[in-house]
Amino acid sequence: MTTPELKLNPAGKVNIRKFVNVTNVTADSWIFLNVSYRDADVSGVDEDSLLLYRWNETASAWELANETGKPNGVNTTGNYVYANVTSFSQIAPFGNPTPQNEYAYAAP
């Protein structure tokens, strides 16, 4: 498997370089995951847009880490991104680039 840093970011998203690898224990496993970050980690990122994504090996792409109706969001006061995760893989927070940085992170 490639390292998380070598996987392409979702189109139009910025990687803040925080990764978690979560594995499935049983068919009914789930985890409420919080990933903390520092203000410096989100330089050039619209902090309000941060969400957790999971790597889908089959599709070779990042997708939202939560199922529809499950929490996935950001607490900008507490500096953490969270999600109720039921499908396991590498998980990372991504956000939209700030307007002055949007062209620097455009998808190839």
pLDDT tens-digit readout, 36-81: 999 999 999 999 999 999 899 899 999 998 877 778 899 999 999 9
Domain hosting 55: range is 13-97
In a domain, 45, yes or no: yes
d(CA 30, CA 54): 13
| Residue predicted with more confidence, 41 or 106 | 41
In a domain, 108, yes or no: no
Q: Is 106 exposed, middle or buried (0-12, 13-18, 19+ CB in 10 A)?
A: exposed
Number of structural domains the chain divides into: 1
In a domain, 87, yes or no: yes
pLDDT averaged over every residue in the chain: 81
> What does the pLDDT read at residue 4?
46
In a domain, 50, yes or no: yes
> What does the pLDDT read at residue 1?
40
pTM: 0.71
DSSP per residue, 52-100: EEEEETTTTEEEESB-TTS-EEEETTTTEEEEEE-S-SEEEEEEPBPGG
What is the number of residues in the chain?
108
